[in-house]
Structure 1
């Protein structure tokens, strides 16, 4: 799933875990590994965008959101991260780089690299609504579910 090369096995697995948490395995399979998914999608009814040129900025009124991609990024943050990271597009590698930057901002990189995934999940909960304790009023997965997804993606626990 994660497409960025040169990252550790644990970071790749953590990225995959976030995508699984945000989108679900079935929807990831029905799309380009989740990278072209719009908020509100389901595996039965995937809402997909076609161009990776920029964040699609498609507003879903029912969910009051324009989140998109494997990590469900909001359009209002795209210009900041695009410029900060020098992202050429909203493609898979750019989305991976953006997610890693957010993980870095949360101070979770060391925990991920050391295999302290429950700690890393807690540090990142402010960024992804599906993580336990996020408090955004959306469905939150259990730490056990996320650890299993992380390990299933090849991540190693401490």
Structure 2
């Protein structure tokens, strides 16, 4: 995996608050969404999504909204079966979580942007996937782009001036021109 991709994933862990959680014992890969009780929670069984065996979702706000977001990238149970099958994931361990996150990023056409060091554009492409990203629009806390760029750079990511204008958010999916993208 390229250093920019690794740094982008590390930035997502910082943004979601999983890799910096005081409860984590595994860089955020073991974190479960915090409920209204405010108590951080982790899991140790990586064989499947922590909510896959009937565990009830957690109430996360005073309006009764529930969530089962889990892992470093706060994946929802509703998506687990699809990505487990698509990516042939053997478990919910760190390598599987990284592959799943990269697939989501790939589906938004942001991998070439990350590889090219176009950090701001890459974040814009994936902002609706993670509620903590700036402009996500879920009504939850959103980190600033400056904070996330600093986390990305601290993790070894590099910023480059693009040789050619990369695709914008409004451009139809032309990611094939930016690399070998896997499309479903």
Change in 2 beyond 3 A, CA 1:24/1:49: closer
Structure 2 residue aligned with 1:23:
17
Structure 2 residue aligned with 1:4:
none
Whole-angstrom CA distance in 2 between matches of 1:121 and 1:115: 11
Change in 2 beyond 3 A, CA 1:28/1:147: farther
Structure 2 unaligned regions, length at least 5:
161-184
Whole-angstrom CA distance in 2 between matches of 1:29 and 1:149: 20
Change in 2 beyond 3 A, CA 1:28/1:153: farther
Whole-angstrom CA distance in 2 between matches of 1:150 and 1:28: 20
Structure 2 residue aligned with 1:75:
77
Q: Which has the higher helix share?
A: 1
Are 1:11 and 2:9 matched, yes or no?
Answer: no
* Higher RCO, 1 vs 2 (CA within 8 Å, ≥6 residues apart): 1
Whole-angstrom CA distance in 1 between matches of 2:141 and 2:147: 13
Larger Rg: 2
Whole-angstrom CA distance in 1 between matches of 2:98 and 2:24: 19
Q: Which has the higher strand share?
A: 2
Deviation, structure 1 residue 74: 0.3
**Which secondary structure state, in structure 1, belongs to the residue aligned with residue 21 of structure 2?**
helix
Structure 1 residue aligned with 2:146:
144
Structure 1 runs (4+) deviating above 4 angstroms are none
Whole-angstrom CA distance in 1 between matches of 2:22 and 2:14: 7
Are 1:62 and 2:64 matched, yes or no?
Answer: no
Map of 1:1-158 to 2, 5 A cutoff?
7-23=1-17, 26-27=20-21, 30-40=24-34, 45-57=39-51, 58=55, 59-63=57-61, 64-158=66-160
Aligned residues of 1:28 and 1:34 also touching (Cα < 8 A): no
Whole-angstrom CA distance in 2 between matches of 1:62 and 1:155: 33
**TM-score, structure 1 normalization:** 0.90
Whole-angstrom CA distance in 1 between matches of 2:119 and 2:67: 28
Q: CA RMSD in A?
A: 1.6
Aligned residues of 1:20 and 1:28 also touching (Cα < 8 A): no
**Which secondary structure state, in structure 1, belongs to the residue aligned with residue 134 of structure 2?**
coil
